[in-house]
Amino acid sequence: MTGNSKYSSGMVYVTLLILIILIQGKPLYGSEHKPLGEISKEISHYADIALKIIDLAVFGKAQNRSYERLATFTDTIGNRVSGSKDLDLAIKYMYNALKQDGLENVHLEPVKIPHWVRGEESAVMLLPRNHTMSILGLGSSVGTPKGGIEAEVLVVESFEELKRRATEAKGKIVVYNQPFVSYGETVAYRASGASEAARAGAVASLIRSVTPFSINSPHTGWQWYDPGVPQIPTACITVEDAEMMARMASRGTRIVLRLTMGAQTLPDADSFNTVAEITGSEHPEQVSAHAF
């Protein structure tokens, strides 16, 4: 079997697996889910069609098209924080792109969305040495008081360690240096890290970026505050800075940071859901949906 044949066979398997997963959520009206084995057997009949799609995308006229479109989109629009002007530009961009591609029933649905502004932010290590850290505030985070927060650091590797050392966390900035296991498992620290730290009395939290690779670049994302728990500022830091502070802490070194964040949540903003359809040729009455 040639290298290309191995690649194509693997892609067919992955493509069919994705189709199986999507079809499990397909019937929205009036039909029960089929057993996975039955769905797998049904989907396997589409292997030749899947291979044609893959060949077109990987080796044919559509080669690199997805990458080029994504690059154009991100280069033109940039980051698209909820409630921002760039998000409005992104919605208009995608609406026009879907129309140009000939999809059906392309339209916008008005909706209210959270309007969060990151603002100016910085994190500076004061002890044991001066070091300016790369950070990105996590979505929906509150800001720090004017002048920032200056506090000692408590480094932990897990929620379990934080619970064991909860008496040490009061008045400190909790730094999570959680190992990357998988995105689905490790992202819990970004989503819930602030509230877990606040329960222990922390004044802020910094989360190691949820990624297996790093070039000293922080990875941000949305986070949620638990009801009834104090809301504290939270941001992500690089893998390198998280590991450095963990090494320092393991030696018994006292670490002090000054964290400054201008984050704030404004009243909900007007925005849109972007909707488009591809009507099936054999069963146009069936509805399948996927959101990005």
Which 8-state DSSP code applies to residue 182?
Answer: -
Q: Please tell me the predicted confidence (pLDDT) of residue 289.
A: 63
Rounded mean pLDDT for each run of 10 residues along the chain, 292 residues in total:
47 52 44 71 85 88 89 93 94 94 93 95 98 97 97 98 98 98 95 98 98 94 96 98 98 98 97 90 74 52
**pLDDT at position 286:** 78
**In this structure, how many other beta carbons lie within 10 angstroms of the beta carbon of residue 8?**
18
pLDDT confidence of residue 28 = 39
| Domain ranges, residue 100 | 68-118+267-281
Whether 148 and 84 map to the same domain: the answer is no
Residue-level pLDDT at 32: 54
Output the pLDDT for position 53: 87
The DSSP bridge pattern shows strands 104-117 and 264-277 to be antiparallel
226 with 168, same domain: the answer is yes
What total number of domains does the chain contain? Answer: 2
pTM of the predicted structure, to 2 decimals: 0.76
Tell me, yes or no, whether 258 and 271 share the same domain.
no
Identify whether residues 237 and 162 lie together within a single domain: yes
The reply to whether 273 falls in a domain is yes
Structural domain contains residue 76: yes
Q: Are 177 and 205 in contact (CB under 8 A)?
A: no
Does 141 share its domain with 229?
A: yes
